[in-house]
Structure 1
Amino acid sequence: MSKALKWRDSYVKFGFTKVIRDGVDCAQCLHCSVVMANASLRPSKLSNHRDKVHPQRKDDNIDALSTKRARYDREATLPKFGFRAEEKPALQSSYEVAYRIVKCKKPHTIAEELIKPCTEKMVELMIGPEAKKIIQHVSLSNDTIRRRIDDMAADVCRQVCCEIKQSTLQASLQLDESTDTALESQLIAFARYEKEGKMKEEFLFCNTLPTTRTTKDFKAIVDSFFEVNVLSWQNFKHICTDGAPAMIGVKGGFVSLVKNEWPHVTSSHCSLHRYALASKTLPPHLLEVMDVAVKVINFIRAKAKNHRLFQLLANEMGAQHVGLLFYTKVRWLSRGKCLSRLYELRLETEIFLRENENNLHVHFDNEEFVMMLDYLADIFGRLNEMNQSLQGHDVTASDV
């Protein structure tokens, strides 16, 4: 991203005055009111506009232009055309709103459609109409909020990259490839590095893989990010990935390609992923109990009518919970939570299945089945606690 150019008073001789748009200096023609982009704050471009559009103004005296500029600003011509210099409180307020929107994961349009109208109305009622006019100066349009978020994200990225380069120790890089709800493949990277004698963990980037998810695609994204932010593999010592072949393949994996170019880099398999893989394997008798539990949950939760009737039954019986939880195979915390909920509502579940003439109710009359269900719920509950304890800041490989 190029550095923003600054306005110089000498640009008045070209027939321009200074305006501020989105927090950067821009030039507006005194003759036709055209606003030039920040990238056009150069004598060659300003003079080119004057010579081509206003050739008759080429010999204007600089004192006359300065006087015209002062009258131009004093008579409020700029606000009339919709260009107003952003004051620092208004600019800061716009960034604060953008920060809270992205923190709460709300759509960008909420600022213009909800936040600003509500703020104007509250200020008008509590303080007065004059205060409302001041609030209206805060720019909260959809495009403005997007630019604010992009600016803050770029600034945070620059700070993290600078801290990595200034660190006395080489950093560690953690990579994970995942698919979001829109079926877009994302490559996510986290960095762990030393700052002022303490270890710090920060999000590095999240880039979309538009087509394939091969090793070359992963490496191209990482290399591109390093090039843009002036980073090198000399700044990194370790890579942590999951068990995907594209990541840890012996011949063509991402880690192998990096080690071929930078032999000093070491690698490891994510501990959380190892525990998740280990917990997927069950003995046959426990796997049968798990399959029955999933069938029961799907029978009650898959149909809206069954779910509503089960909630009414649980309420009438005074149960602590009123609904079962779906089982999601790709989330390792899901298994423990859904089994624990099913065990707590086992009596309500048995009654509901019997009333709906479902043969699965016979399993809940079997003491051995209930005992193994309790065992599975307890084991996976402990695994969930262990997995959550391994996450967070200041957790080292030795702790894991």
Structure 2
Amino acid sequence: MEEYVKRQHLDQSGTLFQQNKRLTEASYAVSLLIAQQKKPHTVGETLIKPCALKMARILLGEEAEKKFNKISLSNNTVQRRIADLSSDIKEQKEFLFCRSLERNTRAVDVMEKVTEFFDHEELNWHNLCGVCNNGTPAMLGAKSGFQYVLEQVIKIVNYVKSSALKSRLFKQLCTEMDSEHKNLLYYTKKLENWKRKAEEGNFTMFESLSEVTINEPLDPGVAKDVMTHLSCLREKFLQYFPEIGREELALMRNPFLVKVNDVQDDLQDQLIEFQNDSGCRDVFEASSISEFWPKMMGSYPNILWKLLPFVTTYLCESGFSTLVQLKTRARNRLECEADLRCALSTTEPRISKLVQKIQENISH
């Protein structure tokens, strides 16, 4: 041990110091991958490292195998690495917290946890721009829970179908998620087509009903009921899925060409100021639409929030899905905040900074 400590005190330009630095960096990199793939911490020591040693020995020889063997991937080490990576991501202001509900899962219990975090971190509630949950009855009440989800779906459908670009991006997202369905249809148009076919006596869109009508025509009373049902269904969809106005789309595409009288009263004064801001016009001409609007958040938040029709439920659902993968029966005691943050975050942890911090602690 004394000899080991002496070797650790070599100056930072020494070979041993640099070697230890690379070993620590490799340990962090592998630990991050373990968290991102939602795997147990023991997989580093039981699978990844043995595989790496075999490959190093076969391809590079015994010396390389000895170097690989120095990479620490034990269960405790991986757990510490993931905790460090998680803390660094939090410092960069993404995925701020994750807490377990010890007893009840009511809305008041969730609010209590969130309030505790806001108070502890001295965050301002006025900076909160949107809230999204999974809409369960336990959160919002038996009736309002469904209503909340339905309202979110309405806004999502309208948003995705507002432009060809958003439809293509939505299709790409569904493909990446291995979704069975990849296209979002305007169901009002589909229902109109079905009603037209039904009026013509064509019921091929209903497989079971179509089989019945192969040999004999459908009873007129049943056919009338089908058309009445389709009409009512279409009315309900129009009620829940109103089309986005052209004014809103025009404001999103080019806010400098929109007439002030065409926007809502509460936006008109700010739009006048916006359109006469030469700095905003310069940024608009130099940026794409997706780059431009986030840059306007600080100066013209009211206009931007009108262009954001929903708080995305994707992050909410992907969070629940990741939690299910992480907290299995075999890992039911796992404190999963650090693993969740590493698995869900799009922010890259600063591994080099973490490695440097460890090396400084060793040198002292």
Q: Same fold (TM over 0.5)?
A: no
> Which has a greater percent of strand?
1
The structure, 1 or 2, with the larger RCO (C-alpha pairs under 8 Å, 6+ apart) is 2
Higher share of residues assigned helix: 2
Q: TM-score by structure 2 length?
A: 0.38
Larger Rg over CA atoms: 1
